[in-house]
Amino acid sequence: MDGEGPDPTPRRNSLERWMDRRDRRRASDHWITGTRRALPLIPGGGGSHLAPDQPRLLLERDEDGRWAPVGVAIDAAAAAEFLSQ
């Protein structure tokens, strides 16, 4: 050949590409989800549509980016009101 060696910058492996995609997705999810969440308090978890009359744990994102509990809503309607504030 002409004496050229291998590319001095190795190609990024698939794990690094996956981590980049994950970080971008997390950043976009933070924008979508905002700073409040409501999680159903039903055995086994599940979607909120499964038990609209059950209580919800209310969470807010603190200044460090962690979710902190702030209360409990009696049902999905009360949780929706919390989320829309």
Q: How far apart are CA 55 and CA 72, in angstroms?
A: 7
Contacting residues for 23 by C-beta, under 8 A, at least 6 apart: none
pLDDT tens, residue by residue, 28-49 = 665 555 789 888 888 876 676 7
Q: Read off the tokens for 10.
A: 């190795």
Note whether residue 85 is domain-resident: yes
Note whether residue 1 is domain-resident: no
Number of domains in the chain: 1
Per-residue pLDDT of the chain (85 residues; tens, 9 = 90+): 555 655 555 566 788 888 888 888 776 665 555 789 888 888 876 676 778 999 999 999 888 878 899 999 999 999 999 998 8
Q: How far apart are CA 29 and CA 37, in angstroms?
A: 12
Q: Give the bridge partners for 60, in sequence order.
A: 36, 68
Domain assignment of residue 75, given as a range: 35-85
Q: What is the pTM of this model?
A: 0.59
